[in-house]
Amino acid sequence: MDISFDFGTLLAVLVCLVVSITLHEMMHAYAGLKLGDTTAHEEGRVSLNPLRHIDPFATVVLPIITLVLFHAPILAAKPVPFNPDRVKFDEFGAAIIAAAGPFTNLALAVVGGVIAHLLGGNAAVYNILTIFVSLNVGLFVFNMVPIPPLDGSRILYAFAPDFLRGIMAQIETYGIFIVFGLVLMVPAFSELLINLNRSISLFLL
């Protein structure tokens, strides 16, 4: 869903972003805690305090850049730590932790879409809900990209053959630079993410 860019929109984006990112990351940490790993809990990540979850570039700068350039946000947050040796169900437990964040955003987007339909007569409220839905869909789509260290890679890893797991492990340390390079320098990749974002947002709204 396209979002017009102005000061009021930027303010609404920042507020919605804080809520969406915070719940995304908290649910990662909460899922890890429920699966037996206290690592994130010990670092204070099972928290509604947004300052514990924000990454300055991926959470603040990147979505503003992509909002201005493409009229749709692409964003991520500070990764939630976990110890795979302490997680139940091995790789599948790690996949559940990874899925908890983006699927929380998808659920928030669905709720926002339902409310938008119910309160569609109020233009101001509808515009804010449009931003909320688009941001959460953006979080879902971007984080489901199956390139380490994004959440989609953790889900893929649980089902991938050994040779693919080896490749993913090798690019883990610099995978985020690959992702940002693809987003900012490969138009086909960024357009794919933007089109997915728009299609899902339009469906919900």
Active-site amino acid positions: 25
Within 13 Å of residue 163, how many CA atoms lie on the same side as its CB?
A: 0
In 3D space, the residue among 27, 36, 174 whose CA is nearest the CA of residue 98 turns out to be 27
CB 164 within 8 A of CB 172: no
Rounded (10°) angle between helices 175-185 and 187-204: 80
In 3D space, the residue among 46, 163, 146 whose CA is nearest the CA of residue 98 turns out to be 146
- Give 13's contacts (C-beta < 8 A, 6+ positions apart): 3, 63, 64, 67, 73, 131, 135
CB 82 within 8 A of CB 40: yes
CB 108 within 8 A of CB 100: no
CB 201 within 8 A of CB 1: yes
